[in-house]
Amino acid sequence: MSEKTEKRDLDLESRSSELDRQLKEIDEKAGRLANIRGVCFLGVLAFVILYFYQDRNIAYLICGLVLLVLFVVFVILHGRIKSKAKRIVVLSEINSRYVARTLHDFSKLEDDGSDLKAEKHPFAGDLDLFGPKSLFALINVAHTAYGRRQLRKWLLTAAQEEMDLNEIKARQKAVEELASQMVLVQELEAETKMNVKKKGSPQALLAFIAAEVKRSKTINLIRIVNSILMWASLIVAIILGGYIFFVPVAFFVIQQFLMACTYKSNAVTFTLVEKFYPELRAYSNIFSALENVEVKADYLSLLKKRLYGEAGSEGKKQSASNQLSSLYKICLLIQVRMQPLLYFVLNTVLPFDELCLYLLEKWRKDSGSKIPEKLDAIGEWEALMSLSMMRMIYPDSAVPEIVDSSEPYFIGVGIGHPLIAEKKLVRNDFELHKGCAMITGSNMSGKTTLLRTVGINSVLAFAGAVCPCISLKLSLMNIGASMRIEDNLGEGVSTFYAELVKIERIVKMADSGRPLLFLIDEIFRGTNSKDRTDGAWTVLQKLHKPSIIGLMSTHDYELCKMNTNGEVDLVYYHFSEFYDDDGLHFDYKLKNGMSTETNAKYLMKLVGITD
């Protein structure tokens, strides 16, 4: 175990102990406050009884009122203490998941991103990016839909037609800064986890922002004028008296009629407000937490600036948290009119609904258009935090050096597969500057794992994360893979045809002219040996271009012998095994050259198929 790994484990253990200590301290304090609160309540009851049974002495009543005030104060304090306790419990759960990540205990990592799977994707399914025991499950700390989608987007960077190297490098610096601040990242995750109950986005709020608030200017004007005339005539009637009271009554009747005319149309907007109102405080809290973080990386500084945005109609910049707080206050007014009696009273004495609609529309025009971008900023924060988990899981990881080159290459020293726990991880050196690396070896020796190791480390590099390696240098390139082949009997698709579709997709990607890294495992395993060999050779010829490199694993040694004239740039690597009295063993170490060994007969004997 390295010094960095030992320090990480000590930091996590220390963090757990500190949170346990804080929770114990708060629980003790909450218990004392609960006891004091109970004493105050009993005291109130005692003084009330004494007041009634001791000649209604005012002194008892005053003492009872004082204790009642203290009771309310201690109720409030106890509520705040319980909120702190809840937050510490959440932080403790988050820290426990950090420990689970270091152990690759996926049973404690519930969000595996299965809903984010990309069907017919060039590499996502082959490299286990989403789903049970996936890369997403291992590193994701996002709790909003924005963060989960953004992480997905960055993990799929290698599928984009255009990859921006400057953006990737900016993410690398941001991720490294966050990785060095474990407590801060845990605090920010706690903020999103506590405030966002579902993995959804505030759809009702976004719908409100996108749609104009419907208000009838004519009826609105009539209601304002009618309200003024109703009150003016009522004042005159009070002063002059007599039969003139029928005038304000007439205006009152008109007011009720106008209320009835606008009730249904106004209800559409107010019902929408009811849907997003509970989310406002939650997202405002998240915005506030992010706005108050001190950062250095340019990307993180830019995200903070986006939370403040441009100056509004009044020439002043408003933070995202303040903008949502403003909307929250308007919604509080609307909550008041949701009570039937208050609705009747408020809309009778003045055009209350029209006032609320005016305030909503003014907020929508001044601030609404800026909110979606600021919600996206939350997603980028969460995605960067998720990528920083790789440094926590593998403290000895290296920041990949990425180069924008028309000639692709991959040079990895001590690279390992991130979905294998550090204690079990076997690292290898691998480099490829042109052509294809043919990976041979017997069953279960590590061929497929090497292909996935190269692919998933490239994914992490382009996303902006560190990789479990001593060093990694690679060029920007798309990734195409054919590794995990599944048939679909419902659609009449055989395993062989499913593989053909994947190979065809890789060939089409090769024709685009963009740099490409292909990963093909046991090509055409579903057909006879001659067709397999001829077909594989044809694919190798089609993929033999200056802009393409790749890895192909195979048991087909005849295929390896077909390049007699050197018309395809091939380099050979292999894995091997050894036998002793305890049976078959693998070292999973990559070696130069081609293997000629096979262990199929031994494995069949081991499971009892042959003698």
**pLDDT tens across 527-559, in order?**
777 778 888 888 999 999 999 999 999 877 778
Higher confidence at residue 586 or residue 190? 190
Per-residue pLDDT at 182: 93
Instruction: Using CA atoms of 68, 73, 79, 81 in order, give the dihedral in degrees to the nearest 10.
Output: -130
In this predicted structure, the answer to whether residue 102 has a pLDDT above a threshold of 90 is yes
Higher confidence at residue 496 or residue 506? 506
Query: Worst-scoring range by mean pLDDT, 189-193, 550-554, 583-587?
Result: 583-587
Name the region of 528 (left: φ>0; alpha: ψ -120 to 50; beta: rest): beta
Q: What value does the mean pLDDT take over residues 213-228? A: 74
In this predicted structure, the answer to whether residue 387 has a pLDDT above a threshold of 90 is yes
Domain ranges of the chain: 1-103, 203-387, 397-606
Global pTM reads 0.85
Of 163-167, 216-220, 521-525, give the range with the top mean pLDDT: 163-167
CA distance 282 to 328: 11
CA distance 114 to 131: 4
Element (H, E) at 521: strand 516-521
Q: What value does the mean pLDDT take over residues 6-29? A: 93
Q: Which CATH superfamily is domain 397-606 in?
A: P-loop containing nucleotide triphosphate hydrolases (3.40.50.300)
HEC per residue, 203-220: HHHHHHHHCCCCCCHHHH
Higher confidence at residue 398 or residue 214? 398
Cα 36 to the center of its chain, rounded Å: 43
Residue 85's Cβ-count burial label (10 Å; 0-12, 13-18, 19+) is middle
In this structure, the strands spanning 577-580 and 471-475 are: unpaired
Asked if 465 and 390 touch (Cβ cutoff 8 Å), the reply is yes
38 by DSSP, 3-state: which?
helix
Rounded to the nearest integer, the mean pLDDT of the chain is 86
| Residue 442 binned pLDDT confidence (cut-offs 50, 70, 90) | confident
Helix axes 529-542, 495-511, angle to 10 degrees: 20
Residue 131's Cβ-count burial label (10 Å; 0-12, 13-18, 19+) is middle
Per-residue pLDDT at 168: 96
Two structure tokens written together for 236: 């005159």
Of 593, 443, 408, 597, nearest in space to 518 by CA: 408
In this predicted structure, the answer to whether residue 99 has a pLDDT above a threshold of 70 is yes
CA distance 299 to 310: 18
Q: What value does the mean pLDDT take over residues 518-526? A: 85
| Residue 201 binned pLDDT confidence (cut-offs 50, 70, 90) | low
